């Protein structure tokens, strides 16, 4: 086929058909919803044009963007349709019933009005058919339904197209939906009103003249399932985008070029098939060979050729874009792989380092445990040595403390002549010679000025021996008023400095036991006893009295009362 010939189909519809037929998952992209949107757009277009054509007053019943039902009701009376048709083709409808009953009130208004409507609709349909427009059935306006609406909208849009063709000066043959208008194709066939035909038959879109005209073919094509694609080229272009995306959406990047290639080859096949069909049709239809139509056909052919090349260009551009996208994604994948590799290596390095750190920590812990056990051994050794020192110092230690003069006593009455470390010399003025001067030796002698802390300092080491498991006994001995209570407890008004041996010993006992609490658990018990006139009295259990003999058998005694007598 040469480019001079006219294409009776558009390229976009071929591509859309192929994509619909072969595009995978086409049904998944909600075809129904897309068709509904498309139908709505077409309906709005038809309604808008009708309203514009007939004006606000006549078109008051038809909203600008009507629903299917509103569209049907708006056109049901046929008034708008007839008026529009008369505007496009003056005199096409001879009589238009403007009111439901021409202002005559009829009791059974609804039925009669319906008849009046049929009259309008019938007249419109007859006139439209004579013009070669795709028509619908009068019952379509009564019953409604999707396919009925599609037929009505198609008819209105065809009328619109026809009107635009006329307004454009009727240049070239009028074509709608890719088919030449039969009034031009079929030469010598005048427009004929068929008002004399039976009412219902006159509404049939296929029965005109008892045979199917080219209009009929056109109508049939327009009314089949692909109505929207064949009628609206711009819509087809939009659809192609949607279909291409749908066909490629679930494909892997490496599959896209193969898929696109296969789609294009199918488009070419379909295109060639349709060309062949058209050739056959042209052979059968000598009308197309009219010389007066040659120029127009040539122009149309060129237009289609241009359109085809534009489509090819567009397809190539799209293919290039997709290839670029694929390359970009492949680069991203390579980068991601590298990142993954680096991260993996980093993780492995961290794992090795973590294991090394764990080993080091384990070794250090082992060293610490070893040091701790050594420390315990050293500590034990130290304890033994400490207590051996205590033994060497003497198991029994005797200290002497000289009480100072009390208030009211004169110091020149003192019998203490001399004190030096562990020795004290006492003089008795009433006796002379050897008897008047006596010397005594102790572990240590504390003079009248010795403080409570100094007295306790020599006793302190024994408290630690108690906690090491040794028995210790501390007691004070002396005549009445010599200062036993003062040394062991302290004065009546106690201060930190004046605390006696008992308080200080107990403080040390709890302090050391607390320091050792992590390694040794101590239970500490206290007894408070009074021994008087050879009788022992438990001050915490005042009823129990023991003989002094039984008391002597006790191996451990932590605390002694200041008046303990042996």
Ligand X SMILES: Nc1ncnc2c1ncn2[C@@H]1O[C@H](COP(=O)(O)OP(=O)(O)OP(=O)(O)O)[C@@H](O)[C@H]1O
Binding residues (CB under 6 A) for ligand X: these are: 403-404, 406, 478, 480-486, 491
The distance of closest approach from Cβ of residue 486 to ligand X in the complex, given in angstroms and rounded to an integer, is 4
Q: Is 169 annotated as a binding residue?
A: no
Instruction: Copy the structure tokens of residue 252.
Output: 């892997």
CB of 493 or CB of 549, closer to ligand X = 493
Helix (H) or strand (E) holding 532: strand 529-532
Minimum CB–partner distance for residue 481 and ligand X (Å): 4
* Nearest CB to ligand X, comparing residues 480 and 533: 480
| Contact by Cβ (8 Å): 161, 230 | no
* Residue among 191 and 532 whose Cβ is closer to ligand X: 532
CB of 452 to ligand X, least distance (A): 8
Q: Residues 208, 194: contact at Cβ < 8 Å? A: yes
| Residue 353, marked binder | no
Q: What is the DSSP letter of 330?
A: H
What is the three-class DSSP state of 99?
coil
Is residue 195 annotated as involved in ligand binding?
no
Query: Which of 207/482 has CB closer to ligand X?
Result: 482
Distance CA(102)–CA(412), nearest Å, equals 158
Determine contact, residues 158/183, Cβ cutoff 8 Å: no
Is 207 annotated for ligand binding? Answer: no
**Distance of alpha carbon 229 from alpha carbon 177, whole angstroms:** 9
Nearer to ligand X, 168 or 478 (CB): 478
| Nearest residue (CB) to ligand X, 403 versus 464 | 403
Residue 289: half-sphere exposure toward Cβ, Cα within 13 Å: 8
Residue 91 known to bind ligand: no
Q: Is 78 annotated as a binding residue?
A: no
Least separation in angstroms between CB 499 and ligand X: 13
Is residue 181 within 8 Å of 193, Cβ to Cβ? no
- Distance separating alpha carbons of residues 475 and 453, to the nearest angstrom: 17
Min dist CB 410 to ligand X, Å, is: 16
Residue 439 C-beta: closest distance to ligand X, Å: 22
β-strand partners of 426: 416, 438
Instruction: Report the candidate in 9, 24, 10 with the shortest Cα–Cα distance to residue 243.
Output: 24
Instruction: Give the torsion through C-alpha atoms of 488, 493, 494, 496, to 10 deg.
Output: -130
User: Which residues are part of a known binding site?
Assistant: 478-485
User: Which residues are part of a known binding site for ATP?
Assistant: 478-485
């Amino acid at each position: 086929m040469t480019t001079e010939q006219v294409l009776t189909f558009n390229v976009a519809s071929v591509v859309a058909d192929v994509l619909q037929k072969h595009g995978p998952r086409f049904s998944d992209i909600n075809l129904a919803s897309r068709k509904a949107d498309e139908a709505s757009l077409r309906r709005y277009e038809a309604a808008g044009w009708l309203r514009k054509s007939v004006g606000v007053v006549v078109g008051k019943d038809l909203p600008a963007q009507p629903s299917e039902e509103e569209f049907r009701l708006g056109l049901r009376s046929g008034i708008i349709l007839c008026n529009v048709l008369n505007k496009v083709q003056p005199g096409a409808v001879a009589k238009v019933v403007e009111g439901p009953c021409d202002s005559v009130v009829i009791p059974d208004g609804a039925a009669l009005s319906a008849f009046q409507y049929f009259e309008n609709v019938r007249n419109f349909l007859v006139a439209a058919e004579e013009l070669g427009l795709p028509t619908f059935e009068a019952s379509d306006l009564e019953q409604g339904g999707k396919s009925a609406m599609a037929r009505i909208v198609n008819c209105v849009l065809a009328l619109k197209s026809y009107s635009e063709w006329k307004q454009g000066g009727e240049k070239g043959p009028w074509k709608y939906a890719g088919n030449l208008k039969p009034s031009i194709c079929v030469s010598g066939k005048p427009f004929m009103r068929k008002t004399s035909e039976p009412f219902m038959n006159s509404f049939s879109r296929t029965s005109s003249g008892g045979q199917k005209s080219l209009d009929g073919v056109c109508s049939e094509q327009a009314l089949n399932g692909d109505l929207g694609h064949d009628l609206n080229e711009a819509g087809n272009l939009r659809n192609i985008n949607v279909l291409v995306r749908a066909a490629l959406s679930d494909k892997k990047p490496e599959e896209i070029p193969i898929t696109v290639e296969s789609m294009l080859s199918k488009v070419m096949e379909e295109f060639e098939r349709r060309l062949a069909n058209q050739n056959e049709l042209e052979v059968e239809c000598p009308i197309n060979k009219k010389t007066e139509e040659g120029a127009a056909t040539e122009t149309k052919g060129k237009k289609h050729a241009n359109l085809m090349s534009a489509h090819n260009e567009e397809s190539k551009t799209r293919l290039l874009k997709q290839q670029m996208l694929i390359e970009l994604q492949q680069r991203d994948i390579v980068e991601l792989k590298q990142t993954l590799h680096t991260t993996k290596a980093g993780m492995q390095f961290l794992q090795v380092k973590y294991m090394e750190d764990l080993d080091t920590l384990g070794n250090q812990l082992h060293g610490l445990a070893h040091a701790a056990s050594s420390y315990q051994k050293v500590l034990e050794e130290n304890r033994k040595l400490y207590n051996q020192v205590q033994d060497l110092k003497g198991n029994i230690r005797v200290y002497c403390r000289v009480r100072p003069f009390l208030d009211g006593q004169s110091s020149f009455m003192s019998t203490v002549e001399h004190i030096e470390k562990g020795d004290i010399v006492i003089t008795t003025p009433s006796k002379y010679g050897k008897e008047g001067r006596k010397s005594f030796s102790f572990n240590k002698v504390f003079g009248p000025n010795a403080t409570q802390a100094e007295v306790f300092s020599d006793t302190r080491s024994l408290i630690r021996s108690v906690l090491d498991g040794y028995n210790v006994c501390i007691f004070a001995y002396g005549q009445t008023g010599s200062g036993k209570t003062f040394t062991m407890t302290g004065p009546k008004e106690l201060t930190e400095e004046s605390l006696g041996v008992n308080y200080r010993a107990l403080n040390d006992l709890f302090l050391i036991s607390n320091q050792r609490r992590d390694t040794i658990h101590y239970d500490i018990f206290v007894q408070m006893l009074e021994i008087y006139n050879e009788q022992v009295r438990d001050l915490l259990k005042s009823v129990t009295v023991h003989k002094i003999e039984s008391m002597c058998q006790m191996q451990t005694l932590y605390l002694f009362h200041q008046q303990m007598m042996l």
